[in-house]
Amino acid sequence: MTSLDSVLVFDKDGVRLTVEDAVATVTLTNPEKRNAQSPALWRALVEAGRSLPGSVRVVVLRGEGKSFSAGLDRQAFTPEGFDGEPSFLDLARGSDEDLDAVIAEYQEAFTWWRRSDIVSIAAVQGHAIGAGFQLALACDLRVVAEDVQFAMRETSLGLVPDLTGTHPLVGLVGYARALEICATGRFVHAQEAERIGLANIAVPGDELDATVRDLSAALLAAPRDAVIETKALLQGASDRSYDAQRTAERAAQARRLRDLAGIGD
């Protein structure tokens, strides 16, 4: 639902972007199809990321209706595909370079959510299947309703999760659990999602929006630059050695102290 105080930035191809002060909301707006995804929707998500005002610090991703996103629109697998788009069968017949370029373009819709200058929150209810699961994984944080159903169905269809979901999934739940979830395609419900670290918070469905608002307010309470530096430290921690992380902490703290003292660059 759009607040009376929010500003509509755009609304097209199943994606609506609104901004209210330091919080932007990206809403999937095709509840009749359970917010199924398509290349047009992915391009709109990319545009949403590029359209964020510099004042935005928190981005909330949500889906209208009973489901967050039931995944890729099955029309993608038909011979005709989507109007004006190459079908997946046509893409498969192309060169390795062309196929790689198209998938890379699709992935762009899933990459900007982890930018260091924002914190992104997925508010997830109902189905979050395949591409929907990966879109929730693209965000920094996940708040889920008690009826949530995560599933990675790509393997069951003879495919792999290729929309950037494998890296965050392994980071959140570990390799063995991620492999089991992906290879079986089974559902992960709210209680398990919270227990294994897939969800930050699980709440009754009628409390989802209020919980996300409270979390957004808590994230905005700290100074922006401190959050940006902390997020960058945490994002890079798994790729650094213990000593390299100590060095990164010192450098970040030096920047913060100089800034607070008014002697930054």
What is the average pLDDT value for the chain, to the nearest integer? 95
The CATH architecture assigned to 7-221 reads: Alpha-Beta Complex (3.90)
pLDDT mean over 74-82: 80
Quote the CA–CA distance of 88 and 79 in Å, as a whole number.
8
pLDDT of residue 4: 62
Model confidence over 213-222: pLDDT tens digits?
999 999 999 9
Which pair of tokens denotes residue 158? 């003879």
* Ranges 82-86, 92-96, 133-137, 180-184: which has the least confidence: 82-86
- Does residue 233 surpass a pLDDT of 70? yes
**Is 154 assigned a catalytic role?**
yes
pTM of the predicted structure, to 2 decimals: 0.94
Q: Report the side by side order of strands in the sheet with 188-189.
A: 127-129, 149-151, 188-189
Model confidence over 18-49: pLDDT tens digits?
999 999 999 999 999 999 999 999 999 999 99
Task: Name the nearest CA neighbour of 164 among 263, 264, 45, 261.
Answer: 45
pLDDT of residue 92: 87
Location of each CATH 3.90.226.10 domain in the chain: 7-221
The single residue of 154, 194, 207, 229 carrying the catalytic annotation is 154
User: How does residue 3 score in pLDDT terms, banded at 50, 70 and 90?
Assistant: low
Model confidence over 170-190: pLDDT tens digits?
999 999 999 999 999 999 999
Quote the CA–CA distance of 35 and 122 in Å, as a whole number.
14
